[in-house]
Structure 1
Amino acid sequence: MASKCVCQICTCGRHYCKHLPTSFMGKGEKPCRLTEYNAKFKEHKLNKVEPFRPEIKPLPEGKMENKTVQRVDFQPYTVEKPWVRQLEVWKKPPGNMEGLTSYKKEFTGKHISPPLAIRHDAMPSVSGKFQGEPTYKSDYKKWDASPMVKFSQPSTWRPPSQKLDGESTFSRDFRYSYEPPRKSLKPANAAHTSDAPLDDKTGYRTSYIEYPLPPKYQKEKEQYSVPQVPLDDLTTFKRDFQGQGGPRMQSCRPEVKAMASGDPFQDMTTFKNDFKAWPIEKPYCHLPDQYMKPPGKLEHDTTHKLAYREFPIKRTQGFRPASANKQVGNFDGKTNYSIDFKPWEVSPMKVSVRHHYVPPVNPFKGISTQKAHFVEHPINVAKSYRPQVTYESNNAPLEDKTMYRREFTPKEVPLCPATLLENDAGPFSFEKEADNGHRFYNLTNKHLSQLTVNRQQVAVA
């Protein structure tokens, strides 16, 4: 009987061979290209799909019609002027307005004496010169410091007598050689002119017909008329409020006076009475070692002084071209703004005259205008037309039986024969392992009939 690999024995689709090469020459990390798709795929010839795009045909010769769907189906309608609601003219109510308030009628003025100013007396000045010695002068002792001695030798450098020309080594060694400019191989960037006139005729210019337009509607502007009655810009507050008279309110704060005494100031403190001076030793100070001058003399010669040779230097000439002389003329300070601008005459602002406050003659009654004229009306609550949502309670159990639960019958899933490959008591015996990673097994005769039955059950399911 022919041997089969794990991919052919498996019936559930979960077992397969490890497609990795096992030979010494072809072994690597890349998987094998042997797949079910490559084995069973059949190539079919495909016909080229024809496009559904219509062919572009040239337009017929002749004059193009200017009729469109909008021009044919459009019907003009008469447009009426929209209705505008006219505002009602304001009418002044009859009678005079009462300017009395609750504050004016109920307020009673009180006479209060003005508060006294809180001012301290001048501090007494002490005559005479202060005689005393601070703690710093009495405790500080100046130490004797020896002057610093300079151990370096005087410098032997002297400024050169010749002037520095300023010419560098590069400008002295480099000699410029003139080279004529090369001929450019780039084509000339010139426009190609033609003697023939430009054909500027378009379909719009040849087919356009100009129609006369009706005159544009212009709304007449209303002329402004100056009112004959002057504007009354005084408010009720400006007219009625003039401040309340009366003396200034006295302060209830007690008088604050500075405490003055002629007795001398007692400057004795607990620290001065209880302090005892203890003897203090001078702290230890480490003295550095005295400097010892090394024997011999210091040589100030360096490699630069010994190996440097002075060369005559010429001053570098500048390569900057001479600036061109600019001709300075008269400055024309006129601008479009100064020519076109015309100052307008501005009239001075008018200052409004405030009238003096005239208190009312009638006393305040204690009732405001809002309380006297306000009429309370009952509030009618709007009726709701929303339907009432009611829920009916039911104690019956929920019917959760579905068609799937009634008609579903569980079926027994047969065991996949690939699971018995690693078992020694199974129906398969290992034969070999191919170079591409496939493992082949042989089936014994006593288990051949049972494997056929399992495959049939899988096919029926």
Structure 2
Amino acid sequence: MKQPRCLCEICICGRHRCPHKPTKIYGNGQQLRFTTEYGENYPVYSNVSPARSLRPKQEYQGHRGRMEGITTFKSDYLPYDIVQRPFRVPEEYKPKTGEMELRTTYRKDYNTHKIQPVALVRPLEREHTTGGKFDTIPTYQDDYRLWTVQRREPSKVDTYQPPTVKFGNSTTFQDDFAPKELNPRPSFKPPCVAKLSDVPFESATSHRASYIAHPLEPKFVRPKQEYKPSNQPFEGLTTHQKDFKGLPGQLAKSCKPEHTKVGSNAQFTGVTEFQENFQPWLVSLPEVHKTREYVPPSGNMDLNSTTHLDYVKHESSPAVPIRPVSNQRRINAPFQGTTTTKDDFKAWDICQQEITRKQQEIPKPTGKFDDLTTFKSHYIPHQILPAQSFRPVHVVPRSAPFQDETTYRTEYIPKKQSICPATYSSPPGYVYINTDSHGHKFFCQLTPELPESNNNLIPKEVAVVS
């Protein structure tokens, strides 16, 4: 016998794996002892109940006594008597007699002092004057002597003559640029005249000269097949109607229970828990606070205020303007609208300069329009020859029969299909030995190769699939 092999090693296709179980610490087949350091140092105590919780249970404890409609505010609050607030009568204002003293604390406490003029710190001027007359000659007058210089005559000839008429002189532009006649520049453009040729148009091309027409073969027409109706009548039955005719049976019964009225029509005369625990009690109505009725005051309302009674009206004069009085002299004489500019510069008539236009070389046509264009007058009609078609004739080429031999057909060698031995529950040629702690199944091989008779077997059930 050979060395045992796992199911993962027997698989050929690579899709079969052993079901892995949880990893174990010891895989020798001995019984495991779950002992740890914590279990050895801290042994288990027997019959020790857990500590009871002193936390109160969250249960609703309802008040079983009768509810009173008295609150803390109602029991502690004592109402007081409301007394009307006394009204303070304002004192009557009495103005003081006499004049108002315009004394202030500054005027009362401040003592005036006499002020002396400030002495100048600048030194006095010392005047050095003599009684005689100062008569001297400056250096410039003593050294400078006037020369007798003759006046130089100008070399420019003055030909200017004042005009006798206002604005009568001609300008520099009028003197230097005399008007000249406009000479039109000759055009070198060739005349637009159609050139007619006397030679007739030749319609012979290289295609027409070299093309040789070939006769067409008759077109192959496939004969149409005649429709032959069937002699048997149409039954109108489909496969479903023919094979599935239905089976006789009873209708399905409803599993819903019947609706029956539960109860009686008699009146209920018992006492409920609500009526027993919650008895009606008398409730006092809340006191309603009544508002006092408004009583308007008697008598008429005095509309006089302190300002109306104590204010003394003073007569005031309008403010005097501080603007100085103007010393303008008014002249009653009429205004003369004549100035030096109006007298010397009189307006003159201005004539607009005519536009210099070029004379038209082509005279305008006169008379009635003949409705003749250049195309109509010069066009010569020619006889139209239809263009010959040079398209090749559509002929179905007759070729040899199709050879369906390909490289795949000639060189392909079919291979024998093999079934993976791991597909079977127990691989053929192997004997099950054991399963280790990791979940691997080990088999021992009996024969060296898988017999040919088992290759075509169909597996009934896949043992392990990843």
TM-score in terms of structure 2 length? 0.22
Q: Give the number of the structure with larger relative contact order, counting CA–CA contacts within 8 Å between residues 6 or more apart.
A: 2
- Which structure would you say has the larger Rg? 2
Normalised by the length of structure 1, the TM-score is 0.22
